[in-house]
Chains A and B, each alone.
Chain A
Amino acid sequence: MEPYTSLNLIREDLKSGKITCCELVEYYLKNIEDHKYLNAFLEVYTEEAQETAKKVDVKIKEGTAGPLAGLVVSIKDVLCHLDHGLQASSKILEGFQSQFNGTAVQRLIDADAIIIGRTNCDEFAMGSSNENSAFGPVLNAIDNERVPGGSSGGAAVSVQADMCLVALGSDTGGSVRQPAAFCGVIGLKPTYSRISRHGLMAYASSFDCIGLLAKNVDSIAATLEVIAGKDDYDSTVSQKPVPHYSQNLTPDSEYKIAYIRETMEAEGINEEVKAKTVEAIEKLKSNGHQVDAVDFPLLDYLLATYYILTTAEASSNLSRYDGVKYGFRSPHTHDLESMYKKSRSEGFGHEVKTRIMLGTFVLSASYYDAYYTKAQKVRRMIRDETKKILSKYDFIVLPTSPTTAFKLGEHSEDPLEMYLADLFTVQSSVSGLPTISIPNGKDNGGLPIGLQIVSDDFQEEKILAFSNYLINLN
C-alpha cells in the first residue's frame, strides 16, 4: 500500500473499493511494529482496531458510516479513553485506567475513526524533547540520535513514520507545534476553548488545548470539525458554531502578513532557520501578498510570563495526585502526611517536581503579587499587543523553533536551555490564539524546519486555507 497523507483520498479509495479499513489498519500496524524502536507508542490497540475496522467496513458498504470513517488516529497519553490505560507518561499514574471518554475521544469514536494506540509524551506534557517520560525518550525517525520535540513527541513521530494518519496531542506552550516542526509534519493548536478540555488531563488550564498533527491540511480540517465545538462538560468551551473547515480550504487572492522583527534578531536563532523564514517571506511577497516587519518589544518577556503562570496552574492541578484515589501509593508511609509526600516525591519525575515547586512558590502568600499577579498583568499586555498586530494583518508568521531537532541529552543539564526551545511558540499560548506549524524546508543536515502562522481568535478556517496554499506554493 502506498502511504496516504490525505483523508479525502482514503475516503475516495474506500468508496471505490480500492482499499478497506481492515487493510488500512493492517498497514499501520505493520509500520508500528517495524518502528517499535522509536518508542512512539505506549500501547497499541491491535485487536480492538482490527475489530473496529471490520465494523466500519460494514457501515461503509451499508452507507451508514460516520464522517471520519477511514481515519486511523493515535491519541496522546493525556486523553481519557474509557477502560484504556492513561498515565501522562508518569509513574504516579501506574496502572490507571480511564473511567470515561473525554469529549474529543468520544466524538472520534462516534464519527467512526479508529483509535490505534496511545502515544508517549513528556511527563504531564511538561517538556520540549519527550525526554521527560517515565517510559523513556521517543526518537526522531529522521535521525535516531535526535529528539522528536515535545511534549507530543510520540504523536508527531506516529504521523512522521506513517503509523497513523492523524494524531491528537495537546499544546500548552507549543507541545504540538514544536514536535511537528522537528518531525516535518503539520501541527495545529486551535484557539483556546475551541475544543472541549473534558477528558484532557489538566496541566495549565488557561493554556491547555487539544491539538492535531498530520501530513496534510485536509486531514486536520476534517478531524477538527468533528471534535471542536460546544460541550455540556466544559463550561469554558466556546459556544461558537464550528465551520466546515474541510469544505472551505480555498485561499483568498491577497493576504496582509506581518512578521516580528525581534524574532529574526533573537539570540539563539539558528542561521538556517532564519534563512528559511526569510525565504518564505520573499516567496509570499513575490506572489503578490503584502508582508511587513512589525515590532513586538515584549518578545523578551514571553517565556517568563508563560513559566510563572503555567507552573502556578500546574501546582494546583497536580495536587490531585496524592496516592489516595488512584495511581501510585508509596509503600514507605506511616501516616497521612507521609503518604502524600512520599507518594508524590517518588511518583513524579524531576521536571514535574521543579514546576510544582515553582508554582507553589509563586502562589504562596508572600510572593503572589510580585510574581503571579505581575505575570497576569503582562499576559494582558502581550495579548493586547499581539491582537493589535492582528487587527491590521491577516496573519503573523514566525519560525516554530529557534533550532532544528537537537540531540538526545543535549539540553538535559540546564532547564533554562530547554525552556528556550519554546521561545517562539508561547506567544500564541499566552494570548490564546490559534496557530499552525507547517513544514518550511530543511537545514543542510536534512532536518525539518517549521513555520508558524498565527491568526486572530477563531480563524482556524483562514489559517487552514492559507496553510494549504502556502504548502503547495512552489
Chain B
Amino acid sequence: MNIDKDLLNKIAHLARLEFDESTAEEMMADMTKILTWVEKLNELDTDNVEPLTTMSHEVNVLREDEVKPHLSHERALKNAPKKDSDYFRVPKVLE
C-alpha cells in the first residue's frame, strides 16, 4: 500500500493530526513500509475463519447498578488546561 500525500492528509484529518512539509515525507515513507510489510497476511487463506473480536473469557460481567458518589466537579476539572468554575473551556464553536 502506497501512502501518497492525499491519503496521508485524509488519514491525518480523521486522526486529528497534522504534518508539515518536513515530517510528512517521513510519515508517508514509514506508513508505506509498515503497511506493505503487514500485507503478508494476504498469503493466508482465512475464508472460513471467524474474526476473533474479544479476548475476555467471560462477557460483560456487570456490577449492581447502585447510586454511589462519582468524581467530584473539582477533581474532574483539576487537570483541565482551561476551565471556569463549572466547565471545561474550549475555543468558540458557534458564532
* Binding between chains A and B: yes
List residues 325-369 of chain A with CB under 8 A from any CB of chain B: 325-329, 333-337, 339-342, 344-345, 348, 353-354, 356-358, 360-361, 364, 367
Interface size on B, residues (CB 8 A): 53
Q: A240 to chain B: which residues have CB within 8 Å? A: 57
Contact A304 B71 (CB under 8 A): no
A174 within 8 A of B: no
A378 within 8 A of B: yes
List residues 26-57 of chain B with CB under 8 A from any CB of chain A: 27, 30-31, 33-35, 37-44, 46, 49-57
A345 to B9: give the CA distance in the assembly, Å: 13
B5 within 8 A of A: no
A112 to B53: give the CA distance in the assembly, Å: 38
Q: B52 to chain A: which residues have CB within 8 Å? A: 376-377, 379-380, 383
Interface size on A, residues (CB 8 A): 71
A466 to B8: give the CA distance in the assembly, Å: 49
A358 to B92: give the CA distance in the assembly, Å: 31
Q: B61 to chain A: which residues have CB within 8 Å? A: 230, 235, 237, 239
A420 to B58: give the CA distance in the assembly, Å: 32
Among A237, A333, A357, A374, the residue within 8 A (CB) of B41 is: A374
In the complex with contacts A357-B12, A358-B31, A345-B18 CB distance below 8 A: yes
Chain A residue with minimal CB distance to B81? A329
In the complex with contacts A328-B81, A356-B17, A364-B11, A336-B93 CB distance below 8 A: yes
Contact A360 B60 (CB under 8 A): no
CB of B76, distance to nearest CB on chain A (Å) = 7
A340 to B93: give the CA distance in the assembly, Å: 13
A346 to B84: give the CA distance in the assembly, Å: 25
A238 within 8 A of B: yes
Among B1, B18, B90, the residue within 8 A (CB) of A341 is: B18
Interface of chain B: mostly helix, strand, loop or mixed:
loop
A308 within 8 A of B: yes
Contact A354 B30 (CB under 8 A): yes
Among A304, A307, A361, the residue within 8 A (CB) of B11 is: A361
In the complex with contacts A97-B79, A232-B63, A341-B18, A238-B11 CB distance below 8 A: no
Contact A371 B78 (CB under 8 A): no
Among A206, A207, A326, the residue within 8 A (CB) of B81 is: A326
Q: B16 to chain A: which residues have CB within 8 Å? A: 319, 322, 337, 340-341, 344
A357 to B52: give the CA distance in the assembly, Å: 23
Q: A383 to chain B: which residues have CB within 8 Å? A: 52
Contact B34 A358 (CB under 8 A): yes
Among B35, B40, B75, the residue within 8 A (CB) of A358 is: B35
A317 within 8 A of B: no
CB of B28, distance to nearest CB on chain A (Å) = 10
A193 to B49: give the CA distance in the assembly, Å: 24
Chain A residue with minimal CB distance to B54? A206
Contact B37 A304 (CB under 8 A): yes
B67 within 8 A of A: no
A345 to B22: give the CA distance in the assembly, Å: 13
CB of A103, distance to nearest CB on chain B (Å) = 13
Among A192, A300, A356, the residue within 8 A (CB) of B55 is: A192
Q: A207 to chain B: which residues have CB within 8 Å? A: 55
Q: A336 to chain B: which residues have CB within 8 Å? A: 90-91, 93
CB of A371, distance to nearest CB on chain B (Å) = 7
A127 within 8 A of B: no
A236 within 8 A of B: yes
21 contacts between A and B (CB under 8 A): A193-B56, A235-B62, A236-B58, A300-B40, A304-B40, A307-B34, A323-B81, A324-B88, A326-B81, A329-B82, A336-B90, A337-B16, A339-B91, A354-B30, A354-B34, A360-B11, A360-B15, A377-B52, A381-B46, A415-B33, A416-B34
| A contact residues vs B (CB 8 Å cutoff) | 95-97, 99-100, 192-193, 206-207, 230, 232-233, 235-240, 298, 300-301, 304-305, 307-308, 315, 319, 322-329, 333-337, 339-342, 344-345, 348, 353-354, 356-358, 360-361, 364, 367, 371, 373-381, 383, 415-416, 432, 457
| B contact residues vs A (CB 8 Å cutoff) | 1, 3, 8, 11-12, 14-19, 27, 30-31, 33-35, 37-44, 46, 49-58, 60-63, 71, 75-76, 78-82, 88, 90-93
8 closest Cβ contacts across the A-B interface? A376-B51, A326-B79, A329-B81, A380-B52, A377-B46, A304-B38, A232-B63, A360-B15
